């Protein structure tokens, strides 16, 4: 949660009181601002203020009246207890609901009243939905709700007041329901996905957007029953494919409070795209292990230097460093723009150390693609590498940006180095599922388009390969000596 050092809130008191109180902004929650104590003054008590203005960005933002609520210093008794938020307290707007999530990175706040002005336009979007699609959407919703009702009855019976079952018995019963109904659920869902793909096959980009929006609004209750689908749609970190989603994909388990919720969570994790993500992890680990084994250790300089760009939770490190003997022969640099992703990567590194007894050489870099393109001497700042990879970044980059990023990463390679970039293929079997159910839209590429990204790299030998499902392809670039 990075906040510009100059971002402040100027508070005007109510009534006849004079003067302005200035508080620094230390964070932003969806509907409140976290603020520090007033400089050189006593701590504030709970209080209402006539006006609050955010200053320090490109524009001043008038929040109107607000209430200040100091943090309560509650004891932290359990590991599950939430940590104390930063700062001294928070400001909550009065008389309006404001979304602060875009304040820190974009300098924007969105009042609910502003969003309400867009409702007539959004409501009219359904007029462009075809009758066949409306009928399909209604039928899918009906089918899944009927299936849900059958399974929910099992869950209700387990917690009925007079016949509540012990937890171990309840889980045995839910397990039996999973075993007996999972295949039938998958058959129903898969058949409906095939019908969906046939129905939208001729749509252009705008038609996909309109029909996808309509579909998800009708399926919203079903979507929210799945932890995975809820996260892909809500995007709590502002983008799809975050490290928490990757964790769910890697774990591939039934998760949820009810049998139906577990079905809805697990089904997308059994898709070809999810399997491709798991496949690429093992494929990548094998390539890096092969390079480590091929490069005989001849002192510290001979350790294989590996850079992971948009590293996410970095679960592949556990596959690469399977024993302590490997750790001295590799050095990792993990780069991501997401602070939470780097925290999860750090936890993975510590877990690998605990399992193997290894002492890993790992450096963490928090930077974005925009920073990468802006820094002139990237090699001087980050060093050079023998192996650079990025598995989940290029799916979100347009072709011009992808070429520019690839060129910068290629500059980081030493002669003989290798660069691997993943991208979902245009024939991804899960594409319609991702677009319509998950709201997870990517830039898909063909083999030719991937090779074109590397066409202007000097001394580059480029090739493409696929993982087993054929859903994801990889651009493999070897840097030959240009001297």
Asked whether residue 2 is domain-assigned, the answer is: no
Structural domain tally of the chain? Answer: 3
For residues 378 and 398, the model is more confident at 398
pLDDT at 298 over 60: no
Query: What pLDDT does residue 202 have?
Result: 95
Helix-helix angle 167-200:205-218, to 10 degrees: 150
Averaged pLDDT, 464-472: 96
Assign residue 257 a region (left: φ > 0; alpha: ψ between -120 and 50; beta: otherwise): alpha
Q: What are phi and psi of 240, to 5 degrees?
A: -80, 160
pLDDT higher than threshold 50 for residue 440:
yes
Single residue among 270, 300, 335 that ends a domain in this structure:
270
Nearest to 308 by CA among 388, 237, 223: 388
Same domain (yes/no): 280, 257: no
Planar angle of CA 339, 341, 347, nearest 5 degrees:
105
Give the tens place of pLDDT for each residue, 155-173: 998 887 666 788 889 899 9
Whether 263 and 182 have beta carbons less than 8 Å apart is answered as: yes
Whether residue 218 is predicted with pLDDT greater than 60 in this model: the reply is: yes
Q: Which pLDDT value is given to residue 416?
A: 93
Most confidently modeled range among 25-34, 37-46, 95-104: 25-34
Q: How many CB atoms lie within 10 A of CB 247?
A: 14
In this structure, are 222 and 299 located in the same domain?
Answer: no
Tell me which residue range forms the domain holding 315: 274-479
Query: Strands, E, within 329-395: which ranges?
Result: 330-336, 361-366, 385-390
338 in a domain, yes or no? yes
Round to whole Å and give the CA distance between 392 and 312: 9
Where does 112-166 have alpha helices with state H? 112-116, 119-124, 131-158
Distance CA 323, CA 449 (A): 38
pLDDT tier, 300 (very low <50, low <70, confident <90, very high otherwise) = very low
Region 440-464: what's the mean pLDDT? 96
Other Cβ atoms less than 10 A from the Cβ of 469: the count is 20
**pLDDT for residue 77:** 60
Residue with more model confidence, 227 or 376 = 227
Nearest-angstrom CA–CA distance, 391 and 50: 50
264, 285: one domain = no
Band (pLDDT 50/70/90 cuts) for residue 135 is: very high
pLDDT in tens, 97-124: 999 988 877 778 888 888 888 889 889 9
Instruction: State whether residue 332 is helix, strand or coil.
Output: strand
Are both 101 and 138 inside the same structural domain? no
Instruction: Assess if residue 3 is contained within a domain.
Output: no
The pLDDT tens digits of the residues spanning 251-293 come to 999 999 999 999 999 999 999 999 999 999 999 999 999 998 8
Measure the CA–CA gap between 337 and 310, rounded to whole angstroms. 7
pTM for this structure?
Answer: 0.84
pLDDT exceeds cutoff 90 at 151: yes
Pair (89, 211) in one structural domain: no
Same-domain status, 35 and 97: yes
Strands 361-366 and 330-336: parallel
Residue where a domain terminates, one of 218, 242, 270: 270
Q: Between the CA of residue 449 and those of 20, 218, 453, what are the distances in Å?
A: 58, 36, 7
* Residue 245 and residue 292 in one domain: no
Residue 299 has pLDDT above 50, yes or no: no
Per the structure block, which two tokens stand in for 37? 């104590």
Grouping H, G, I as helix, E, B as strand and the rest as coil, residue 212 is helix
Share of the chain above pLDDT 90, in %: 69
User: Which residue from 288, 294, 290, 355 is spatially nearest to 316, judged by alpha carbons?
Assistant: 288
CB-based contact 469:279 (threshold 8 Å): yes
- Same structural domain, 109 and 255: no
Supply the DSSP symbol for 83.
P
pLDDT at 239: 85
* Residue-level pLDDT at 296: 56
Give the C-alpha separation, 444 to 472, whole Å. 9
Q: How far apart are CA 156 and CA 224, in angstroms?
A: 19
Say if 197 falls within a structural domain. Answer: yes
Mean of all residue pLDDT scores within the chain: 91
What is the rounded distance in angstroms from the CA atom of residue 460 to the CA atom of residue 458? 5
- pLDDT for residue 15: 84
With respect to residue 244, please indicate whether it lies within any of the assigned structural domains.
yes
Which among 224, 387, 400 is positioned nearest to 308, based on CA atoms? 387
| pLDDT tens for each residue of 381-432 | 899 999 999 998 999 999 999 999 999 999 999 999 999 999 999 999 999 9
Inside any domain, residue 1: no
37, 24 Cβ separation under 8 angstroms: no
Q: What is the CA radius of gyration of the chain?
A: 26
Q: Which residue has the tokens 């975050």?
A: 242
What's the pLDDT at 114? Answer: 87
Asked if residue 127 belongs to a domain, the reply is: yes
Exposed e or buried b per residue across 168-200, where buried means at least 16 C-beta atoms within 10 angstroms of its C-beta: eebeebbeebbeebbeebeeebeeebeebeebb
Based on the fold, state whether residues 103 and 47 are members of the same structural domain: yes
Indicate the DSSP class of residue 445: B
CA distances from 377 to 338, 366, 411, 417, 447 (A): 23, 17, 10, 19, 31
Mean pLDDT of 9-26: 89
Per the CB < 8 A criterion, the answer to whether 343 and 373 are in contact is no
Domain boundary among 235, 270, 305: 270
**Could you tell me if 262 and 281 lie in one domain?**
no
Report the length, in residues, of the chain. Answer: 483
Q: Which CATH number belongs to the domain containing residue 335 in this structure?
A: 3.40.50.150
Residues 43 and 152 grouped into a single domain = no
What tokens does 278 get? 């798991």
Q: Are residues 367 and 394 in the same domain?
A: yes
Q: Per-residue b/e over 291-322, b at no fewer than 16 CB within 10 Å? A: bbeebeeeeeeebbbbbbbbbbbbbbbbebbe
Higher-pLDDT residue of 6, 220? 220
Could you give the angle at which helices 243-251 and 272-294 cross, rounded to 10 degrees? 90
Which pLDDT score, from 0 to 100, does residue 80 have?
64
pLDDT, residue 483, reads 56
**Confidence band of 1 (pLDDT split at 50, 70, 90):** very low
416 part of a folded domain: yes
């Amino acid at each position: 949660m990075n906040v510009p050092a100059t971002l402040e809130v100027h508070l005007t008191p109510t009534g006849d009181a004079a003067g302005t109180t200035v508080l620094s902004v230390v964070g932003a929650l969806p509907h409140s601002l976290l603020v520090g104590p007033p400089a050189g003054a006593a701590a504030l008590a709970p209080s209402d203020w006539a006006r609050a203005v955010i200053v320090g960005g490109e524009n001043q933002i008038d929040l109107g009246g607000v209430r200040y609520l100091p943090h309560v210093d509650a004891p932290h008794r359990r590991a599950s207890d939430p940590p104390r938020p930063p700062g001294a307290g928070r400001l909550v707007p009065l008389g309006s609901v404001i979304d602060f999530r875009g304040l820190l990175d974009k300098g924007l706040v969105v009042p609910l009243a502003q969003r309400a002005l867009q409702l007539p336009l959004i409501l009219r979007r359904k007029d462009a939905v075809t009758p066949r699609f409306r009928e399909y959407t209604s039928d899918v919703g009906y089918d899944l709700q009927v299936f849900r009702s059958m399974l929910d009855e099992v869950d209700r019976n387990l917690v009925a007041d007079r016949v509540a079952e012990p937890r171990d018995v309840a889980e045995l019963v839910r397990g039996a329901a999973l075993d007996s109904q999972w295949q039938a659920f998958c058959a129903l869902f898969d058949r409906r996905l095939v019908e969906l793909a046939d129905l939208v096959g001729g749509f252009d980009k705008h038609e996909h957007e309109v029909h996808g929006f309509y579909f998800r609004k009708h399926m919203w209750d079903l979507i929210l029953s799945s932890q995975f689908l809820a996260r892909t749609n809500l995007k709590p970190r502002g983008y799809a494919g975050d490290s928490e989603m990757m964790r769910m994909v890697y774990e591939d388990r039934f998760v949820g409070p009810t049998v139906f919720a577990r079905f809805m969570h697990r089904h997308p994790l059994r898709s070809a795209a999810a399997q491709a993500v798991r496949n690429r992890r093992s494929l990548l680990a094998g390539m890096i292990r092969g390079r480590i084994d091929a490069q005989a250790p001849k002192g510290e300089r001979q350790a294989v230097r590996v850079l992971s760009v948009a590293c996410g939770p970095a679960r592949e490190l556990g596959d690469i460093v399977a024993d302590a003997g490997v750790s001295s022969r590799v050095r990792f640099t993990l780069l991501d723009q997401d602070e939470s992703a780097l925290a999860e990567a750090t936890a993975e590194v510590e877990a690998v150390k605990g399992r193997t007894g290894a002492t890993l050489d790992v450096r963490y870099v928090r930077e974005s693609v925009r920073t990468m393109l802006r820094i002139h001497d990237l090699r001087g700042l980050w060093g050079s590498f023998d192996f650079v990879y990025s598995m989940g970044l290029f799916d979100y980059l347009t072709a011009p940006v992808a070429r520019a990023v690839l060129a910068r990463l290629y500059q980081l390679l030493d002669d003989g180095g290798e660069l691997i970039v993943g991208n979902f293929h245009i024939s991804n079997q899960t594409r319609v599922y991702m677009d319509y159910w998950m709201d997870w839209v990517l830039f898909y590429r063909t083999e030719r388009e991937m090779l074109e990204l590397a066409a202007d790299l000097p001394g580059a030998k480029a090739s493409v390969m696929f993982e087993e499902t054929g859903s994801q392809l990889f651009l493999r670039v070897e840097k030959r000596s240009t001297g």
